[in-house]
Structure 1
Amino acid sequence: MLQVDFKKQLDHFSLTMQFRLDKEILALVGSSGSGKTTLLNCIAGIVHPDVGEISLNERKFYSDDQKPLKIQKRKVGYLFQDYALFPHLTVEQNILYAVPRESAIAHITELTKILGITGLLGKYPHQISGGEKQRVALTRSLAAQPDILLLDEPFSALDDANRDRCQNELLRIHEKWQIPIIFVTHRIADAEKLADRIMRIEKGQMTEETVRLEL
């Protein structure tokens, strides 16, 4: 379980977050600059809160009484908004770049098949489409078998067909892996399709939260 309870002062407001997340998909919605990406960055360890605590499965990522856990030890998969692929590396090299050497190659091979990118492994980022880049970036974020997955606007650059495909693949991976997933979106339709819970953040405050009920 992910437990978040912290404050972080930003330029124009204080980001105040307090929630728990089990093996669910949580969608973050709200205006640009409201603190959604900062929340992801605090969980990942890219930035640190000013005060509070973040923990996952009782492992403390951040706490007032200890040194923050290093990014590499958090086992967080993070898909950045711009995908952050290295242009000088092939798709295969991008996927393997941050993967520990002891990682199971069979697991990575399975991911490339699930996400349909086996035929792209020898290509470079400039040789593939936006939808293919999204799937490569998702594969890379899952390659190290993370305990939580963070996605920042993962579908914003995709056309309708690729968006539907990638969303269905994400749901299939979540069903198989059963890990917490948090994604940022400006599309309410994406949140309603994918998320078990929807949280709205405005000016650093959680203003509403919706729980999707299974019928």
Structure 2
Amino acid sequence: MLELDFRKQLKHFELQAALELSSEIMAIVGPSGSGKTTLLNSIAGIAQPDSGSIRLNGRIFFETNRKPLKIQNRRIGYLFQDYALFPHMTARQNIFFGVGRQADTSHITELTELLGIAELLNNYPHQISGGEKQRVALARALAAQPELLLLDEPFSALDDETRNNCQQQLVRIHRLWKIPVMFVTHSRQEAAKLADRIVQVDRGQLTVLAMESSI
């Protein structure tokens, strides 16, 4: 269970985040500059709130007047909008980056098969397509077996067919792993298709939308 109750002052408004997320898929929608990515970054530890608290499964990520938990200790998978793959590393090296040497990695073989990238593991990012990069980045985000998955506009740069395939893979992985998933999108249609709940962010204010009125 992810529990958010924090505030962070941005340039033109204050982000006020108060919500809970269980083992479901939550879509975050809203105009550019509304605070969506800051919301994800605050959970991940890239940005720090001004006050309040962030907790995941009882572990405190952030609390007022308390030292924030380090990023590497949060057990969060984060898929960035540009995928952020290391160009000098193969797909395999990218996926295993950040996985401890003593960690059980048997699940990673299952991941690469599930995502259809097993044959790409020796390729470098410049040798694979946008959809393949997205799947490699998703495998990397899940390789350390996170307790929460964050995705920042993960499908925005893909063509329609590739986007649909990647969306299906995300849903399939969620059914298998049963971890909370929070993803940012500009598409209300995509949000309605994938999410169990939709939250709109507008100038830092969060509103849960009724699913039937979200399209």
Q: CA deviation at 1:210?
A: 2.8
Correspondence 1:108-147 to 2 at 5 A: 108-147=108-147
Once the two structures are superposed, what CA deviation does each residue of 1:49-99 show, in whole Å capped at 9, x if it has no partner? 000000001100000142100001100000000000011111011111111
Describe the superposition over 1:82-138 as per-residue Cα deviations: whole angstroms up to 9, x where unpaired: 000011111011111111112222111110000000010000000000000000000
Cα distance in structure 1, aligned partners of 2:142 and 2:63: 26
Distance 2:66 2:128 in 1: 44
Query: How many angstroms apart in 1 are the aligned matches of 2:70 and 2:205?
Result: 27
8 Å contact kept, 2:197–2:208: no
Identity %, equivalent residues? 62
CA distance in 2, matches of 1:142, 1:210: 30
Whether 2:22 is the aligned partner of 1:19: answer: no
Runs of 4 or more consecutive aligned structure 1 residues displaced over 6 Å after TM superposition: none
Residue of structure 2 in register with 1:154 after alignment: 154
The 3-state SS of whatever aligns with 2:123 is coil
Q: Is the 8 A contact 1:199 1:210 kept in 2?
A: no
Give the Cα separation in 1 of the matches to 2:84 and 2:210.
31
Distance 1:164 1:109 in 2: 23
SS in 1 for 2:162: helix
What is the match of residue 89 of structure 1?
89
1:211 CA displacement: 4.8
What is the root-mean-square deviation of aligned Cα atoms in Å? 1.0
Gaps of 5+ in 1: none
Q: Give, in whole Å, the separation in 2 of the partners of 1:208 and 1:147.
A: 23
**TM-score under structure 1 length normalisation:** 0.96
Amino acid paired to 1:140:
R
Separation in 2, partners of 1:48, 1:209: 26
Aligned partner of 1:184 in structure 2 is: 184
Q: How many residues align?
A: 212
Q: Encode CA deviations 1:191-214: one digit per residue, 9 max, x unaligned.
A: 0111000000011111442357xx
**Unaligned segments of structure 2, at least 5 residues:** none
